[in-house]
Amino acid sequence: MRLALGVSYNGQAYDGWQSQPSGRTVQDHLQAALARFAAQPVTTVCAGRTDAGVHGLMQVVHLDTPVQREDFSWVRGTNTFLPPDIAVQWAMPVPDAFHARNSAKARRYAYVLLESPVRPSVDAGRVGWVFRPLDEAAMREAASYLVGEHDFTSFRASSCQSPTPVKTLEPVRISRRGGYWRFEFQANAFLHHMIRNLMGCLVAVGQGSHPPQWMHEVLQARSRDAAAPTFSPDGLYFLGPLYEPHWGLPSQVPAYDWLP
């Protein structure tokens, strides 16, 4: 049986999603919990890997298992063996043709940024931070140059393993509530560190270090050296993948209502 799971996690304590020899990743903890519940080894495939310190509201994974359990049992049983900052949100059987990564038609992220003279405290590790005011109009104009299919080499980490730097980005949504900014990104796929590098450039424009047109110059340069430094992972949230409706999978979880 192929099973799909929706998983949420606070990434502060982990070395990212993907399994590593250290065992200090979200995937390592999830697979260990699943193995204890299923009483046999379990391997998962995810929709999108996240870096150290990045959070996930609805990571989607699939696994193949001969173990038969009710859907709610996979959720509650697995959560029994997970640390409090990782939780399975839902579980559903899916056809063998479903693949958590390859079946996704798009992926969504949000970056939450605190604009304040004082650093974060109660939300430390959960938001990025700037202490200088940001110009919303300038950032919107800068973001407009990114929309569509482009070569995003300038925003690609040197360790990126994607076979191509060409991705298709939807319009970036920028909103503000009090001192908190929210940037929403959706694309068919993302490069390693792509959003954090985009955020570095958007913040540079918002603070007046560069004009909005600079974003277009960075994009056209196709060189990582042309862009701003990689921004902090603290405020980055993987909202989850988007699938065709016929798979019948949830598109969001309750944590969406909490995120600013």
Residue 148: CATH number of its domain: 3.30.70.660
Residue 251 lies in a domain: no
| pLDDT tier for residue 255 given thresholds of 50, 70 and 90 | confident
Task: Please tell me whether residues 227 and 124 are part of one structural domain.
Answer: yes
pLDDT category, 90, cuts 50, 70, 90? Answer: very high
Q: Residue 65: which residues within 8 A CB-CB, separation 6 or more?
A: 1, 3, 38, 40, 42
Confidence (pLDDT) at 144: 98
Q: Is 218 exposed, middle or buried (0-12, 13-18, 19+ CB in 10 A)?
A: buried
Is 247 a member of any domain? no
In a domain, 121, yes or no: yes
Residue 172 has pLDDT above 80, yes or no: yes
> Are residue 66 and residue 116 in the same domain, yes or no?
no
Please give the residue range of the domain that contains residue 122.
106-237
Burial of 258 per CB tally in 10 Å (0-12, 13-18, 19+): exposed
Q: What is the pLDDT of residues 110-155, one digit of tens each?
A: 999 999 999 999 999 999 999 999 999 999 999 999 999 999 999 9
Those residues whose C-beta lies under 8 Å from the C-beta of residue 126, and which sit 6 or more positions away, are: 10, 12, 55, 112, 120, 234, 235
Over the chain, what is the mean pLDDT? 96
Q: Examine the fold and report which residue of 102, 131, 165 is the final residue of a domain before the chain moves on.
A: 102
pLDDT at 162: 87
- 162 contacts: CB under 8 Å, gap ≥ 6: 156, 189, 191, 192
Residues 163 and 92 in one domain: no
Tell me whether residue 51 is one of the annotated catalytic residues. Answer: yes
In terms of domains, do 34 and 137 share one?
A: no
Mean pLDDT of all residues in 72-100: 97
Is 116 domain-assigned? yes
Q: Is the pLDDT of residue 159 over 90?
A: no
245 within a domain of the structure (yes/no): no
Say yes or no: 29 and 77 in one domain.
Answer: yes
Q: What number of helices (H) and strands (E) belong to the chain?
A: 6, 11
Out of 79, 102, 125, pick the residue that ends a domain.
102
- pLDDT above 90: residue 73: yes
- DSSP, collapsed to helix, strand or coil, labels residue 28 as helix
| Average pLDDT of the segment spanning 215-233 | 96
Residue 21 located in a structural domain: yes
C-alpha to C-alpha distance for 136 and 12, rounded to whole angstroms? 28
pLDDT-derived band at 160, boundaries 50, 70, 90: confident
Residue 214 lies in a domain: yes
Can you tell me the mean pLDDT for 164-181? Answer: 96
In this structure, the answer to whether residues 201 and 144 fall within a common structural domain is yes
Choice among 51, 85, 135, 234 that is catalytic: 51
Q: What percent of the chain stands above pLDDT 90?
A: 93
What confidence score (pLDDT) does residue 256 get?
Answer: 87
Residue 215 confidence (pLDDT)? 98
Averaged over 24-36, what is the pLDDT? 98
Q: What is the tens place of the pLDDT at every residue in 196-222?
A: 999 999 999 999 999 999 999 999 999
Query: How many folded domains does the chain comprise?
Result: 2
Residues 126 and 47 reside in one and the same domain: no
Q: Is the same domain home to 121 and 140?
A: yes
What is the domain-level CATH number for residue 85? 3.30.70.580
**Which DSSP helix (H) or strand (E) runs through 46?**
strand 45-46
125 and 220 both lie in a single domain: yes
Q: Tokens in use for 249?
A: 């999978």
Question: What Rg do the C-alpha atoms of the chain give, in angstroms?
Answer: 19
Q: Mind giving me the DSSP string for 51-108?
A: -TT-EEEEEEEEEE-S----HHHHHHHHHHTS-TTEEEEEEEEE-TT--TTTT-SEEE
Last residue of a domain, one of 62, 87, 102: 102
**Mean of pLDDT values over 65-72:** 94
CA dist 148 → 140, 189, 224 (Å): 15, 12, 19
Asked if pLDDT for residue 161 goes beyond 90, the answer is no
In this prediction, residue 30 carries a pLDDT of: 98
Residue 75 CA to residue 65 CA, distance in Å, equals 15
Task: Answer whether residue 256 is part of any domain.
Answer: no
Do 6 and 94 belong to one domain?
yes
Do both 127 and 215 map to the same domain?
Answer: yes
Q: Tell me what pLDDT residue 54 has.
A: 96
Residues 125 and 225 in one domain: yes
What's the whole-model pTM score? 0.95
